[in-house]
Chains A and B, each alone.
Chain A
Amino acid sequence: MLELNDLDVALRVGGRMRRVLSGLSLSVAAGEAVGLVGESGSGKSMTVRAVTRLLPEGAAVSGRIRFDGRDVAAMDAPALRRYRDRDVGMIFQDPRAHIDPTYRIGSFLTEALRVNRGVGPAAARRQATELLAAVGIDDPERRVRQYPHEVSGGMLQRVMIASVLAAEPRLILADEPTTALDVTIQAEVVAILDRLRRDRGIGMLFITHDLDLALAICDRVAVMYAGSIVEIRSARDLHRSACHPYTVGLLGSRPSIQARVDKLVAIPGRPVSAFEAPPDGCAFTDRCAHAEPDCLHGRPALEPFNDGLVRCRRVADLAVLAESRPESPAAPPSEPAAKSVVEPPAESPAEEGTQP
């Protein structure tokens, strides 16, 4: 359904172009949930904005974005509006900033229906209250008359989810939908999103920096580093047999359920963005424990390995290394933390890494 092919994005920063996505390839099949996991600055949000053509002004894009085979970059204004209205729906990180504070919640929920599809006020109102009930909000008749500043952040994010469901999109783009929320309600909001999109067969690109969360609710997980994907495979396989040194590091640095607070950083160094990475070579080199001089010469390609795709020139050596050692490089799969609070993932419809 959604296919990103060798996407390069550069943003204008003070007259100079700064690369934020570099050779990114990714796909989401109909009804499939794909997790996009990476540290801050790796380009996750820019990926979402590229998909909806909401990049900042002056952005330079190359590569291809297709939705159902249609080239998103080539859409004219009406086609683009239709695509944004019917095909993709976005859930943003900070609902407080992303919902217009001057309108009532009911108005926000139904605006797109009324403006884009000419739904009448009464029908829109009915739909709004039904949707609020669906996302678990009590007393929806009262809520639709309230203003955003009168309700909590968690409720506002559920309103945002309801507004996206209202449009019945084919694909939901959720950009860290719970990061800005209180920890105590994060799991609940994710569970609602997960259940409702499954019930309706809506595909999802789920963006998070929380690998466990992605593993818990997604069919496949793509790990992002410095503006491109370094590894992608099914959620079930990933925590058993991660192959890229970065993924292995992320899995190792997962805080356990008992010690979620004291985040130990297992990967030395700090994450880099695409424009900071070496121009010709593996972006992960300066943090990689397995780096060798050759890693700086020629950018490794995203290639099939063990039913997934991996971007590391040494992936085969490292797999052999791992087998020869008593314990595997990936820590034994502790139960993902988020799993205890959301429903376990259903059988994933797409097992193999999709070829770009």
Chain B
Amino acid sequence: MTPRYVLLRLGGLVTTLLLSSMLIFSSLYLAPGSPENVIFGNRTPSPAARAAVRHQLHLDRPLPVRYWDWLTGVLHGDFGRSMVTDQSVSSRVGSGLGTTLSLVAVAAVLIAVLGLALGIAAALKPGFVDAAVNLFTSVSVAIPPFVAASILVSIFSIKLGWFPATGLPDGFWGHLRGLVMPAFSLALISCGYLARVTRNALREQLAKEHVQTAVGRGLPRRVVIRRHALRGALPPIITVIGLQIAGLFAATLIVETAFGIPGIGRLTVQSVSQKDFPVVQAVALLLVAAFVVANTVTDLLQAAVDPRLRTAGRTA
């Protein structure tokens, strides 16, 4: 991979983040309902009081200026203060970030391990195994995360009592135990999807002429599958894993709320309902950043596994 290609991709990443931050900022303030109303709640303020609050929140300044102030603050790690709790946004977001990242990490591992294993098994074993995996994927991609969550809770928390129904117990193992079911709910759809894509990509590769060459040279079957078929199937697999992991961040909104996990997802839902603009801005930006970073990493990995893309990047 050429350094130039990496730089190009990183440049694209920064540009996307900048554009989406503008979009997030302006769309929130252009939405109906003035932000300062959050502070007054049901009371109707005097015009003077309203003006004072607007001044304190810098709402009396033009939008581009406010955006610029906000952006420079963000670049220094200052996302402003919550309009509801008056805590700094970065401390509110920061406390949930670790939790959400570990939830997504556990889900990502589940997706990659189960999805790949099922997909590979289905591709290599036509007949019963393939049919069984196909059934699983058809069912799993049809179950939305909140349905999966309630099914899992009723079986594993209420019936069996293996995992807590809500919240995160203390300690590392407690955390992990608390994250298992939310992670499964998050992973289920993606897992089925990845299994399907892996199966089809591997089947397609197994039919390739160069795989025939490898077999014809007397290479052992496992070498043919690992070095040639699986290797060739990597691009679509990487794409799907990347997109699914990026999508997990959005799905945490539902799953964290359902399981009472104190992460970014639940914070987003709370802040939106409380119209806590600075917090909503920060988490929205984080979600976009997670998505864009996941995409960029995906593209870089693609280029790393496919030499033809590297050259394309060089000549582009």
The residues of A with any CB-CB pair to B shorter than 8 Å are 52, 54, 77, 80-86, 89-90, 92, 94, 97-103, 111-112, 115-116, 147, 149-150, 163, 167
Q: Is the CB of A98 within 8 A of B307?
A: no
Cross-chain pairs A/B with CB under 8 angstroms, 25 sampled: A52-B216, A54-B215, A81-B219, A83-B218, A84-B218, A90-B216, A92-B209, A97-B208, A97-B209, A99-B210, A100-B210, A100-B214, A100-B227, A100-B228, A100-B231, A101-B210, A101-B307, A103-B227, A111-B214, A112-B218, A147-B307, A147-B308, A149-B307, A149-B308, A150-B311
A163, closest chain B residue (CB): B217
Q: How far is the CA of A181 from the CA of B19 in the complex (A)?
A: 49
Q: How far is the CA of A150 from the CA of B216 in the complex (A)?
A: 24
Residues of B with C-beta under 8 A to A77: 221
Residues of A with C-beta under 8 A to B217: 84-85, 89, 111-112, 116, 163, 167
Q: Is the CB of B218 within 8 A of A116?
A: yes
Q: Is the CB of A98 within 8 A of B219?
A: no
B208, closest chain A residue (CB): A97
The residues of B with any CB-CB pair to A shorter than 8 Å are 208-221, 223, 227-228, 231-232, 305-308, 311
B217, closest chain A residue (CB): A112
Known: A100-B232, A101-B307, A147-B308. A116 touches B219 (CB 8 A): yes
Q: How far is the CA of A54 from the CA of B216 in the complex (A)?
A: 7
Residues of A with C-beta under 8 A to B220: 81, 115
Contact among B213, B223, B227, B231 with A99 in the assembled complex (CB-CB below 8 Å): B213
Contact among B213, B228, B307 with A90 in the assembled complex (CB-CB below 8 Å): B213
Identify whether the interface residues of B are mostly helix, strand, loop, or mixed. helix
Q: Known pairs A84-B217, A100-B211. 17 more at Cβ < 8 A?
A: A52-B216, A83-B218, A89-B217, A98-B209, A98-B210, A98-B213, A99-B210, A99-B213, A100-B213, A101-B210, A102-B307, A103-B227, A111-B227, A116-B217, A116-B219, A149-B311, A150-B311
Distance (Å) between the CB of A268 and the closest chain B CB?
34
Distance (Å) between the CB of B267 and the closest chain A CB?
43
Q: Is the CB of B219 within 8 A of A102?
A: no
Q: Is the CB of B216 within 8 A of A101?
A: no
Q: How far is the CA of A155 from the CA of B33 in the complex (A)?
A: 69
Residues of A with C-beta under 8 A to B210: 97-101
Q: How far is the CA of A125 from the CA of B308 in the complex (A)?
A: 23
Q: Is the CB of A102 within 8 A of B218?
A: no
Residues of B with C-beta under 8 A to A167: 217
Q: How far is the CA of A92 from the CA of B209 in the complex (A)?
A: 9
B229, closest chain A residue (CB): A100
Distance (Å) between the CB of A309 and the closest chain B CB?
29
Q: Is the CB of A84 within 8 A of B216?
A: yes
Residues of A with C-beta under 8 A to B308: 101, 147, 149
Residues of A with C-beta under 8 A to B209: 92, 94, 97-98
Nearest first, the 9 A-B pairs at minimum CB distance are: A85-B218, A84-B218, A97-B209, A81-B218, A100-B210, A147-B307, A112-B217, A98-B209, A98-B213
Residues of B with C-beta under 8 A to A112: 217-219
Q: How far is the CA of A217 from the CA of B306 in the complex (A)?
A: 39
B228, closest chain A residue (CB): A100
Q: Is the CB of B218 within 8 A of A92?
A: no
Residues of B with C-beta under 8 A to A89: 217
